[in-house]
């Protein structure tokens, strides 16, 4: 694989790192911002989820702006927004100011969440596309881990500790902004704007002499309509089924419950009577498992395909959550088995739905409609994320752990059945070959 392509993917994946960091950093600040801003429990819930509302708006913005201004420029805008959000939230003296800063950060997360994987998918050679797009998921996971660690290291820095925790994000934001000057615009976007010479230059560097011309020709063939696409184009009979697959997969990625663990693990452990001191150890175990199994997925995804990974992953997730549910029903939650099932669940997610859903969402749509199609799918992902995040503590309290995890287990099973029947395999083919294949169906 060309080192140039790897460099480009790593730069774009910095967007994923910021996405992971920004969504996770808040967990370490909660105990300090709650008294500082005088927040009730509900107020805290809204403050924490304010970012997610920004995300939803950011994805919509990226869908349109990514087509109009190009993937690279809009990613630069996201880097600036990450920076402003870091400095703004770290220096906030009023709740309103803090919320605005967090929402701006959310806008950036939303933009990065679609443009980073999409940009990589549009630059990657077909053979390695799965691995390279999964690099973005790896970066998300690393971003989450870095946030947990940096929060831990900064917690002892006095009454302004939460400000430092939030300010840390300014560094990778600056890095992303400047490193984007090193990478080219997406050749598929350039071709869609009739800038074929520039597109060819990029393809020569990413795919090599032999395939560049052929690839450009192939891209040109898929771009018969040259005016800018509209969201309503997604509802044509050929595209609508793809849109449904994108939305349903994205929603399943969230409603199978991953962020009940990622955002609430300490609460679950406290709920089963485990002490707070082990919180850091558990966080490291969860983050480490997530990281290791994302690497496993990166090795397997172009070899075995996206579909097989999701099928095996969903089976494992179903079983792990069923096990967890049984432990709650039978009051056996004090032992080590709770941790075993939780880590098993994380491992199966990380090796399957975690990266694969982003990969497939970036591959499903034709060149002309990728930005808009992916944005609708990913908006659905963020809405589902917000709903689960808000509902989970209530479910745990009102329905008990046994029923809550049984419900999530059944959802994993439903995901398995859906993927078996409806999701196409996308490995190994160029985006244009996929486009032609889907157009025939
Ligand atoms: C999901 C995030 C989740 C993360 C955990 C991502 O693929 O979209 O919601 O927090 O994986 O690793």
**What letter would DSSP give residue 235?**
G
Is 141 close to ligand 1, i.e. is its CB under 6 Å away? yes
Gap between the Cα atoms of 233 and 253, Å rounded? 25
What are the tens digits of pLDDT across the range 125-163?
A: 888 899 999 999 999 999 999 998 888 889 888 899 999
Domain assignment present for 110: yes
Residue to substitute in 16, 18, 20 for testing ligand 1 pocket (most ligand atoms within 8 angstroms of CB): 20
Whether residue 209 lies inside any domain: the answer is no
Q: Looking at the domain assignment, is residue 220 inside a domain? A: no
Distance CA 239, CA 231 (A): 11
Domain span including residue 329 = 2-183+225-440
Residue 211 placed within a domain: no
Q: Which atom of ligand 1 is nearest to the CA of 259?
A: 10
Question: What pLDDT was estimated at residue 280?
Answer: 65
Task: State if residue 137 touches ligand 1 by the CB under 6 angstroms criterion.
Answer: yes
Confirm whether 170 is domain-assigned.
yes
Q: What parts of the chain have a pLDDT lower than 50?
A: none
Determine, yes or no, domain membership for 195. no
Per-residue pLDDT, 347: 98
**For residue 1, what pLDDT is reported?**
56
Q: Rounded CA gap, 145 and 137, in Å?
A: 12
Total count of domains within the chain: 1
pLDDT tens for residues 303-325?
999 999 999 999 999 999 999 99
d(C-alpha 411, C-alpha 46), whole Å: 26
Tell whether 72 is covered by a domain.
yes
Alpha-carbon gap, residue 330 to 326, rounded angstroms: 6
Which pLDDT score, from 0 to 100, does residue 44 have? 81
Say which CATH number the domain at 300 has.
Answer: 1.20.1250.20
| Assigned token pair, 399 | 């329905």
In a domain, 189, yes or no: no
- Residues in the chain, total: 441
């Amino acid at each position: 694989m060309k080192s140039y392509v790897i460099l480009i993917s790593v730069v774009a994946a910095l967007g994923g790192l910021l996405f992971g960091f920004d969504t996770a950093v808040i967990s370490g600040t909660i105990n300090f911002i709650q008294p500082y801003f005088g927040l009730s429990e509900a107020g805290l819930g809204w403050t924490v989820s304010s970012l997610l509302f920004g995300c939803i708006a950011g994805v919509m913005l990226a869908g349109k702006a990514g087509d109009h201004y190009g993937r690279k420029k809009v990613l630069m805008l996201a880097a600036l927004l990450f920076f402003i959000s870091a400095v703004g939230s770290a220096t906030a003296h009023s709740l309103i100011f803090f919320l605005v800063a967090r929402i701006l950060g959310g806008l950036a997360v939303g933009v990065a969440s679609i443009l980073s994987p999409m940009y990589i998918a549009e630059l990657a050679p077909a053979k390695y596309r799965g691995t390279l797009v999964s690099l973005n998921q790896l970066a998300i996971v690393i971003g989450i881990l870095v946030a947990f660690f940096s929060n831990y290291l900064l917690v002892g820095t006095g009454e302004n500790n939460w400000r430092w925790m939030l300010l840390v994000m300014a560094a990778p934001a600056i890095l992303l902004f400047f490193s984007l000057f090193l990478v080219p615009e997406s050749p598929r976007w350039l071709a869609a704007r009739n800038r074929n010479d520039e597109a060819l230059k990029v393809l020569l560097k990413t795919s090599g002499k032999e395939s560049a011309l052929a690839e450009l020709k192939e891209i040109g063939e898929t771009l018969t309509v040259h005016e800018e696409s509209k969201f309503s184009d997604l509802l044509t009979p050929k595209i609508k089924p793809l849109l449904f697959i994108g939305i349903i997969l994205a929603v399943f990625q969230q409603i199978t419950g991953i962020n009940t663990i990622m955002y609430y693990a300490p609460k679950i452990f406290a709920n089963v009577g485990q002490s707070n001191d082990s919180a850091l150890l558990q966080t490291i175990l969860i983050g480490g498992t997530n990281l290791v199994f994302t690497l496993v997925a990166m090795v397997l995804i172009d070899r075995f395909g996206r579909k097989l990974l999701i099928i095996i992953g969903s089976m494992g997730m179903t079983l792990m959550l069923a096990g967890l549910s049984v432990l709650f029903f039978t009051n056996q939650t004090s032992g080590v088995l709770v941790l075993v099932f939780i880590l098993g669940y994380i491992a199966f997610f990380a090796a399957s739905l975690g990266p694969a859903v982003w990969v497939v969402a970036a591959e499903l749509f034709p060149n002309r409609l990728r930005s808009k199609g992916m944005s609708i799918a990913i908006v659905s992902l963020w809405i589902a994320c917000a709903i689960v995040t808000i509902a989970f503590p209530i479910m745990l309290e009102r329905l008990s752990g046994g029923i809550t995890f049984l419900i999530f287990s059944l959802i994993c099973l439903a995901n398995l059945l859906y993927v078996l029947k409806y999701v196409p395999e996308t490995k190994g083919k160029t985006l244009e070959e996929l486009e032609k294949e889907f157009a025939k169906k």
